[in-house]
Amino acid sequence: MGPFLFPLLMVAMLGFMIFSQRKQQKNRMEVLNQIQKGDEIITIGGLYGIVDEINEQKVVLDVDGVYLTFERSAIRGRVNQATAVATVVEEPVVEDTAVTEE
């Protein structure tokens, strides 16, 4: 059993690596397929932009009025919608209730 243990262990490790890589690739493809026009995304280079146009191979991003074209594979993912939405804080209205003496 000794001479078969090492090759068996190597095959098991290789199988695990291939399985996890396919799982990651499947998740990445799902994320890329869900991106639509108007979504805020981040590229693999760390650039944030809003999708202006998207097709099977290319993505056009609007970055503060500058339109940049990237390969679809250069997209890391969507920016979390919870962080992208600005928080609106309303301050309470204080009414002037000063008493005037006559």
Query: Is the pTM for the entire model greater than 0.75?
Result: no
The domain limits of the chain are 2-84
Burial class of 74 by CB neighbour count within 10 A (0 to 12, 13 to 18, 19+): middle
Hey, what CATH class is 2-84 in?
A: mainly beta
AA letter at 70: F
Residue pLDDT tens, the chain, 102 long: 678 888 899 999 999 999 999 999 999 899 888 899 999 999 999 999 999 999 989 999 999 999 999 999 899 989 876 544 455 556 666 666 666 665
